[in-house]
Chains A and B, each alone.
Chain A
Amino acid sequence: MKAKIYMVFLVLLALAPACKKTLDVPPMNIVQDKDIFSNSSGIMAYMARIYSELPIEDFKWNPTTGFKSFFYGSPYAITGEAISRDQQNTTETFGYWSDAYSLIRECNYFMETLPNYADNFSATQVNNWLGEARFIRGLTYFALVKRYGGVPIVNKVLTGAGKGIEDISDSIDAYKIPRSSEEAVYDSAASDLDFAYANLPETNQQGRANRYAAAAFKSRAMLYAGTIAKYNTITLMSGSTQVCGIPAAKANDYFKAAYDAAALLDGKYSLYKKSWSPTDKSAQAQNFANLFLDASSPENIFIREYHYPDAAHWYDANQIPRQLWSGGYSSETCPTLDFVEMFEGLPKNADGTFKTLDSTGHYILYNDLSGPFVNAEPRLRGTIIFPGDVFKGQSIEIRRGIYTGSVNGGISKLLPAGSTSPYPTTNLVSSATDAQTAYTLPDGTKMNPAGLSGYFTNTSGAAGCISGFTIRKYLDPNKPTAEVTTNHSDQSWIEMRYAEVLLNQAEAAYELYSAGQGADYEATALKDLNLIRERAGATQATLADMTSINIIREERRKELAFENKTWWDLKRWRIIDKEQDGRIYRILNPIYSSLAGKYFFDDRFDERNSRYTFDPRWYYEQIPQSAIAKSTNLVQNPGY
C-alpha cells in the first residue's frame, strides 16, 4: 500500500514540471534578441561586431593569410610598388568566402529583426542603423565580386525567423544557390550603397559610416565594374548567367554611376592641407606625411580605428628603418626604383629611368647620400624615406658598400646595364649582417661598409633595406623606439579618403570622355587631377597632357601607393599580367667611393633576382573547393 502511494506520488511529480509554465524560459546565460535589439547599447555591440568583420585590406591584410592577420612581411610587395624580404610573387590565396557569407547573414538578420523592436527607438535611429547594415552588406558583396566575379546573392536570412540550420536540412538542395552574374552582384552592392546613402546620417561616430562614405564606396565599386566591362577578356557562363565578365555595353553606365556618386561629395570633404604651403616643398612633404596620422583630417571619409592594447597591429615594427628598430622586425617594405621613377624631381634619362651616369658613361658623384633626391616631388618624400632623409631625428643611412677602386677618369658601371649577376667582389666591400668590420678610409677614419639601415648581403638572415629606399607613409614619427614592437601600433587605417574620390571621378570622367560622352568630362578629369597634383607639389597638367587614360592611372598609383589599392587597380585594369611577366624589379644602391670621398648610385635589378609573374587566371580568384563541395551549383572560375 505504502509503495502504491509512492507510485502515485512519483507519477504526479513526473507530470508536475510539464505544466509549470513559469519554468519554460529561455536559457538565462545566452543573450537573446530582446537583449540586443531593445536598447541602443545592444545595437552598438552588434554594430561593433559587424564593423570589425568588414573586409577591408588594412594593416592586417595579408594576401596569403587573410584579414585580421599578424604577420611580418609586406603586402605591398605583390604589386611592384615595393620588394620585401618576406613577401614574394603571389596572389591572394586565403579564399575569402565563408566569413563573407557569415557577415552577410549577420547584416540580413539585423535588418529583419530590428523592425520588430522599432518601438524602442526613433524612426531616424532605426533608418540610420538599417543604412549601416546595408552599407556593410554592400561592401561585403563588393569584396566578393572584385575577387570572384559573380557570387550567390543572399539577401534574406535563409532559415527564416526563429529557426536554425536543422530546420532546413531536409530541403538543403533548395538552398544551394548558384552564382549570380558579375553585373548583378555589382548592382546589388550599388543598391545597398544607395539605400545607405539615403538613410545614413550626415555625420557619424568615428569609424562608422555616414552617408558620404556610402557614396564614396559606390564611386569605387562602380568604377571597378566599369573597367571590368571595358577591359576584361575572360568570360564564364553558368547556364544563362555570365558569372565572369560584364557586357562591354554596360561600361558607360557604370562609369556614369561612379562619376555621379563621387559628385555627391563635392564640398563635403577636402584635401588635407593643414601644414601645406604653396611655396615650401618641405612643408608640402610634411603635410602629406601628416595626412595619414592626423585623426582630425578633413580628408578622412571612412577609417578603421585601432587601439593599444586590445586592438593593435604591427605596422611600425614591420616598416621601421633598421637603425630605429627595437629588435625583431624592420624594413619589410622596400620601394622599388620602378615605383620611385614615376615621380617628378629626380635626375632622369630621356626614357624616364633614373639617371646614374654622366654623359661620358661614368657614375655621377654626389657629396652626400641625399644628393640625387634634394628636389624630389614632395609627395614622394612624404611617402618614402630616401637615403640621408631625417626620421625621428636620425639621418637614415642606407649604403650598399664601399667602392675601393680607382676613380681616375671616372668610375665605370660595376656591371653591364641590365645584368642580373652579383657585383664583382674586387673593389667592393660589403657586409653580410649588421655585425660589421669597419673599413679604413684613405684619410684614416673608419667607415662601416653597409649603412646602419642596410644593405646587408645576407638578405634572408639580416633585417635591412634591400632596395635603397624605405617607407614613410603611416609610419609614426613620435613612437618611442621601445614601443616599435609587434602588437603595439594603433594608428587608424584610412580606407577611404577624399583624394581617392577625386581620382575615381577623374578616371570615370576620362573613360567617359574617351568613349565620346563629351568634352566636359575631360575638363572635370583635368580639374580633379590638378587638385591632387597641387597638394602633391607636382606640376599642373594641361589639356594637352591628357593624351590617354594612363595619366590618370599613374596619378592614382602615386597618390594611393602603399594603401593596398594598387593591387586591385592593376587587376581591374587587366594590365598586371603584362607588367609582371617574369619581371625583376629594379633597385638603387648608394655606394661610397673611398678614393673620391663621394657617393655614387647604381641602378640594377633586385639582387635576389626575385621574379614576378602574374598568372592571368588570378584575375578571377579560385572559389574555395570547400564551398563547391557544399554546393555543386557553384561553378569554378576558369583555369582552376
Chain B
Amino acid sequence: MKHIINYLAFCLIITLGISCSKKIDNYAGPTETLKGSIIDSNTNQTLQSEVSGDNGKGTRIKLLETSWSDNPTPLYLATKQDGTFNNSKIFAATYKISAEGAFVPLVQTQSDGTVIVDKSQTVTVKGGTTTVNFTVEPFLEVEWVGDPILNSDGTITANVKITRGTANPDFQSDITDVNLFINNTEYVGNNNYDNRYAKHINYNGANGNNILGDTLSLTTTNGALPKGRDYFVRVGARINYGLKQYNYNEPKKVTVP
C-alpha cells in the first residue's frame, strides 16, 4: 500500500515537474502601434477605399517581417475606408512594409525578375507608435462635381468627374464599370451597399474610356427612396487590371425628409 502511495506521489511530481519547469512559450503579447495613411499623389488627400478586411478587398498593408527570415510569409493589415490605418497590436520587429490596392503597385517586378520599382519601406517598429505613409498614384480619380442632389421624384443623383490618376500607360487599362453605391450608413462601397437602389453602368471594350474628363451623372434606380432617413452615397469606378478594385470619391450624406 505504501509502495503504491509512493509510486503515485512520484508520478505526480514528475507530471508537475514537466508542466511548469520552463516558460519557453510564454511571450508577452504584441504592444507596438503601427499607423499611417495612403496618400493620393495627385490630391495629397488620403485615398478613399473600402472598409477592407485583411483579405484583399480595398487597400491593405503588407508586412514582411525580415528580422528572422529572408522569405517570410506576408502578414496583412486592414485599412479604413478613408485611407488611414492604425493597428495597436504589432510585435516589435523590423518589417518591410508596402500597400496593395487600386493604385499603381508600389513594388513592380519585370518578367525576368528584375524589380523595377520598389517603394516599400523597411521600418523598425519599436517603442510605441510608428507612422508609415505611402504616396500612391490611383488608377482613377473620382471627384464630386457639386453635392449629390435629391430629385423631386425621390431619387438621388450624383455628379462626378472621372480622370486617370496615373500617366503610366501600363496602368491605363479600359474602364469597365462605374457604380453609384448607396447605403444607410457611412460605410458604403462595393462591399456594402443597397443593391435595390444602386446604379451600375457597365462598359464594353474601350467604350468606358469616353467618359474620362466628362461630368457623369448617376441616378439611383428602382424608384423613390424610402422617406425619413439619411443615405450615404459615393461613386466607385474601376479598370480592367489585376483584381479590379475600385477607386472611390468620399461618401456624402443625403437626407430624405
Contacts and interface: CB of A to CB of B under 8 A. Distances in A.
A640 B55 contact: yes
Interface in B179-233: 195-196, 198, 200, 202, 222
Contacts of B222: 418, 420
A588 B162 CA distance: 39
Contacts of A124: none
B243 A639 contact: yes
Contacts of B56: 617, 638-640
B73 interface: yes
A574 B243 CA distance: 11
A628 interface: yes
A234 interface: yes
A577 B241 CA distance: 12
B241 A233 contact: yes
Given A420-B196, A578-B176, A234 B112 contact: no
Given A233-B242, A611-B195, A616-B244, A240 B113 contact: yes
Given A235-B242, A237-B109, A611-B195, 12 more contacts: A418-B222, A420-B196, A577-B244, A578-B177, A582-B195, A582-B198, A617-B56, A628-B73, A632-B73, A633-B71, A636-B74, A639-B56
Interface in A387-430: 418, 420
Contacts of B176: 578
A175 to B, nearest CB: 15
Given A233-B242, A420-B196, A241 B113 contact: yes
Given A420-B196, A617-B56, A639-B55, A242 B242 contact: no
A608 to B, nearest CB: 14
A554 interface: no
B173 interface: yes
B87 interface: no
A621 to B, nearest CB: 13
Given A617-B243, A639-B55, A640-B55, A233 B173 contact: yes
A430 to B, nearest CB: 23
A241 B110 CA distance: 10
Interface residues of B, number: 26
Contacts of B71: 632-633
A242 B240 contact: no
13 contacts: A233-B173, A237-B111, A240-B114, A241-B113, A578-B177, A611-B195, A616-B244, A632-B71, A632-B72, A633-B71, A638-B56, A638-B242, A639-B56
Interface in A223-249: 233-235, 237, 239-242, 247
Interface string B57-92: 000000000000101111000000000000000000
Contacts of A237: 109, 111, 113
Contacts, number: 52
Contacts of A617: 56, 243
A640 B72 CA distance: 15
Interface size classification for chain A: 20 to 34
A33 interface: no
B113 A233 contact: no
Interface of A is mostly: loop
Contact of A234 (B74, B114, B243): B243
Interface string B157-185: 00000000000000001001100000000
A578 B202 CA distance: 8
A35 interface: no
Nearest to B245: A616
User: 3 closest Cβ contacts across the A-B interface?
Assistant: A240-B113, A639-B56, A237-B109
Interface in A196-234: 233-234
Contacts of B242: 233-235, 616, 638
A239 B113 contact: yes
Interface in A623-640: 628, 632-633, 636, 638-640
Interface string B7-29: 00000000000000000000000
A242 B108 CA distance: 12
A78 B218 CA distance: 30
Interface in A558-583: 577-578, 581-582
Contacts of A638: 56, 242-243
Nearest to A419: B222
A488 to B, nearest CB: 41
A417 to B, nearest CB: 12
B113 A582 contact: no
B200 A616 contact: no
Nearest to B115: A237
A584 to B, nearest CB: 9
Contacts of B55: 639-640
A242 B111 contact: yes
A170 to B, nearest CB: 20
A237 B107 CA distance: 11
